[in-house]
């Protein structure tokens, strides 16, 4: 998401109500809230057109000062990172624009929750180095993450979803037709400058993490780049933290229905039967949250898949948990999957 220009939303507390109205008018079509600041740039209040209307009814004039009519009990984020419990409360209270303040009370950043869903303290890595062989001939000249679905590249849906959750440190690992993906991300997507990291050779679905520069967050979100999903990243992150997990794996329900009667046996002895049983499983969805300190077990310059990492984590006593996706998930790995994704986006566009 594009970062908001703070100057558009701030006004000196000594300005007049008329000047505030003029500035609010220039925000038409955007969230119409101003943050009143003192001479040092510290936020001391907020002002909306509703505040001004009520002040005029109470006898203030257009020449009154902002300090006389502003709302001083405002909501703001403080500290290094916004607390997710506060973010959920803000959504519940339907507050749109919230400042993140520095220790001195000046604005570090503004968040518009008509655009953002959450602000997660994670760094993201999307794996985009595969050859997409099952989708040939579509992928002979185009890497699978750049195939169009609903008028946009597959990978861009994932970048946009991460950006809506406040994730700004996003890397993409590339190998097959790498230069095409690098050109695609030469310009920001959803306001995010995506970094491309080349694999010198194919390193599997997690081996390339050793090539990505460490970010500032202690949790890494790793995912396949060719997914279409509306997974709730905030809920997954909260589950990861509340479980005290070293790694959380997103999973999807997978149901197997057997169209025959199945015998229960003991050797050759038949002990009973079950008519057309249904078995419920959970399948790997290709989305992982991993504590950064756990990444040290990944071997360098070695082909290494996420499944290898999961097994090694379990063998070393790591706490691996699952998070069930309740919603849409499509792994675009075959022509049938690609057609299903196209149809899904077509239906959404027609709504």
Percentage of the chain beyond pLDDT 90 is: 61
pLDDT at site 309: 95
Q: Of 321, 246, 233, nearest to 291 (Cα)? A: 246
Residue 77 pLDDT exceeds 50: yes
pLDDT at site 2: 63
Q: How many CB atoms are closer than 10 A to CB 293? A: 9
Contact 100, 110 (CB under 8 A): yes
Residue 76 pLDDT exceeds 80: yes
Query: Where does the pLDDT of residue 180 fall: very low under 50, low under 70, confident under 90, or very high at 90 and above?
Result: very high
pLDDT at site 202: 86
pLDDT at site 1: 62
Mean pLDDT of all residues in 306-316: 94
Residue 292 pLDDT exceeds 90: yes
Residue 290 pLDDT exceeds 90: yes
Q: What is the pLDDT of residues 312-351, one digit of tens each?
A: 999 999 999 999 999 888 888 788 888 888 888 777 644 3
Domains of the chain, CATH where assigned: 6-112 (3.10.580.10), 122-350 (3.90.550.10)
Please tell me the least confidently modeled range out of 91-95, 130-134, 173-177.
130-134
pLDDT at site 205: 86
Q: Which residues contact 315 (CB under 8 A, 6 or more apart)?
A: none
Mean pLDDT of all residues in 32-47: 94
Contact 121, 220 (CB under 8 A): no
Mean pLDDT of all residues in 201-221: 90
- The full DSSP string for 216-248 is SSSEEEEEETTEEE---HHHHHHHHHHTT-SEE
Query: Where does the pLDDT of residue 11 fall: very low under 50, low under 70, confident under 90, or very high at 90 and above?
Result: very high
Rounded to whole angstroms, the Cα distance separating 178 from 249 reads 27
Please tell me the least confidently modeled range out of 44-58, 133-147, 150-164.
133-147
Percentage of the chain beyond pLDDT 70 is: 98
Contact 181, 172 (CB under 8 A): yes
CA dihedral 227→233→237→242, nearest 10 degrees, is: -110
Please tell me the least confidently modeled range out of 65-79, 129-143, 238-252, 265-279.
129-143
Query: Where does the pLDDT of residue 80 fall: very low under 50, low under 70, confident under 90, or very high at 90 and above?
Result: confident
Residue 285 pLDDT exceeds 80: yes
């Amino acid at each position: 998401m594009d970062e908001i220009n703070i100057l558009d939303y701030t006004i000196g507390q000594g300005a007049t109500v008329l000047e505030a109205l003029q500035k609010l008018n220039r925000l038409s079509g955007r969230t119409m809230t101003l943050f009143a600041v003192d001479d040092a740039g510290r936020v001391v209040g907020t002002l909306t057109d509703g505040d001004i209307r009520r002040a005029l009814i109470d006898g203030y004039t257009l020449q009154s000062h902002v300090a006389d009519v502003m709302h001083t009990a405002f909501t703001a984020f403080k500290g290094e990172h916004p607390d997710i419990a506060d973010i959920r409360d803000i959504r519940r209270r339907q507050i749109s624009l919230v400042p993140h303040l520095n220790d001195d009370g000046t604005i570090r950043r503004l968040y518009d929750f008509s655009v953002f869903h959450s602000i997660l303290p994670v760094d993201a890595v999307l794996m985009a180095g595969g050859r997409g062989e099952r989708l040939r001939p579509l992928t002979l000249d185009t890497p699978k993450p750049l195939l169009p679905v609903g008028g946009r590249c597959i990978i861009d849906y994932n970048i946009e979803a991460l950006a809506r959750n406040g994730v700004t440190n996003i890397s993409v690992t590339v190998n097959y037709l790498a230069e095409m993906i690098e050109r695609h991300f030469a310009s920001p997507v959803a306001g995010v400058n995506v970094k491309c990291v080349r694999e010198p050779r194919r390193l599997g679905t997690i081996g390339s993490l050793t090539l990505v520069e460490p970010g500032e967050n202690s949790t890494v979100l790793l995912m396949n780049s060719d997914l279409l999903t509306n997974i709730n990243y905030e809920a997954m992150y909260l589950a990861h933290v509340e479980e005290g997990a070293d790694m959380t794996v997103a999973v999807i329900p997978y149901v197997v229905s057997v169209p025959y009667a199945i015998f229960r046996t003991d050797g050759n002895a038949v002990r009973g039967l079950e008519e057309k049983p249904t078995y419920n499983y959970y399948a790997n969805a290709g989305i992982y949250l991993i504590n950064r300190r756990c990444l040290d077990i990944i071997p360098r310059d070695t082909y290494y898949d996420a499944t290898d990492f999961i097994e090694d984590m379990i063998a070393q006593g790591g706490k691996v948990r699952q998070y069930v996706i309740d919603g849409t998930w499509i792994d675009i790995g075959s022509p049938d999957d690609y057609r299903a994704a196209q149809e899904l986006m077509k239906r959404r566009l027609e709504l």
